[in-house]
Amino acid sequence: MNKISFKILMLLTILVMHKGKAQEKQLTSKLEIYNITSGTREVIYEEKDHFEAPNWSTDGSYLIFNQNGLLYKLPLQNPKKIHIPTGQADRCNNDHGISPDGRTLAISNNDKIEGVSGGTSRIYTLPVEGGTPKLITPDYPSYWHGWSPDGKYLVYTARRNGDYDIYRIPAVGGEETRLTTAPGLDDGPEYSPDGKYIYYNSMESGKMEIWRMSPDGSQKEQLTNDSYSNWFAHPSPTREHFVYIAYLEDQGDRHPPMKEVALRLFDLKTKNIQTLCTFTGGQGTINVPSWSPDGERFAFVSYEEN
């Protein structure tokens, strides 16, 4: 190849690379608050980056979310993120939450385990302001989703013997108890405020729907049955309803990001379901408990590609 041909080839390569970069879309994450009384949405924080899964503090003053393996606190009066130190747990995923007394944080961290390339999430606890994490679930993968109202237990989704089921473990660590046994994925367990139920989503019926059961795993009851893929039921502190995310198109047993989704409100007295809003979201939108302490608002994340 002569020099002229080489220069032409290099120029074409540069043009192709430039065109590819120009066509890349930039992600914007928006942390929003939905008010169920007024029916309004408010964006309180956004970045041209990816973050996920807000928790609301028990005193109502701040939110916690995960971003690039780290956790951040976002004061509502001054919404600028503050890093929460988590020690060697620097690969946190979007399954995290605050204990009922507001003092302890449960996190799920994608641990570095020699010879294992994926599925290494394990649950830790640490002071809510940050500190040294304590390992709670030696077995992996384990993904935290809820505290019992008395703070004594954690519930989580875990893969054991090739199947994902829901488990309970003492919050201080110890022996885990399996609560679901049906084939297929069970995920997103969360206690009701009175401790009478654990809400979760399951493929037991053949598609992803919202269920609930007694805390010991008995008396399982299917609550939704429609054309959507329904995930992550979060009971309100008022005990009147729960909010959950619904994919507008069936996703099987997956909950991918960047899909058309709706946030829906299930009335526990009437069994009526109300669609609150629709947007682009999915994975990372509302994986974990995010109600305000008074039950008037909840937080979530929506996404845009620009």
- Per the rule left: phi > 0, alpha: psi between -120 and 50, beta: everything else, 136 is alpha
- Kindly report, residue by residue over 165-198, the tens digit of the pLDDT: 999 999 999 999 999 999 999 999 999 999 999 9
Q: Give the rounded percent of residues in the chain with a pLDDT score beyond 90.
A: 90
**Residue ranges making up the domain that contains 107:** 89-289
Q: Is residue 25 part of a domain?
A: no
At 23, the pLDDT band (50, 70, 90 cuts) reads low
Q: Is residue 19 part of a domain?
A: no
Q: Is residue 70 part of a domain?
A: no
- Give the Å distances, CA to CA, from 40 to 35, 273, 276, 304: 5, 18, 9, 19
Q: Is residue 72 part of a domain?
A: no
Residue 25 clears pLDDT 90, i.e. is over it: no
Query: How many whole angstroms separate alpha carbon 149 and alpha carbon 91?
Result: 27
Q: Report the number of distinct structural domains present in the chain.
A: 1
Dump the DSSP string for 179-224: ---SSS-EEEEEE-TTSS-EEEEE-TTSS-EEEEE-TTS-S-EE--
Q: Is residue 220 part of a domain?
A: yes
Side-chain half-sphere CA neighbours of 271 within 13 A:
7
Q: Is residue 5 part of a domain?
A: no
Q: Is residue 216 part of a domain?
A: yes
- Kindly report, residue by residue over 51-90, the tens digit of the pLDDT: 999 999 999 999 999 999 999 999 999 999 999 999 999 9
- Kindly report, residue by residue over 291-303, the tens digit of the pLDDT: 999 999 999 999 9
pTM: 0.91
CATH number of the domain that 239 lies in?
A: 2.120.10.30
At 240, the pLDDT band (50, 70, 90 cuts) reads very high
Q: Is residue 265 part of a domain?
A: yes
Averaged pLDDT score across all residues of the chain:
93
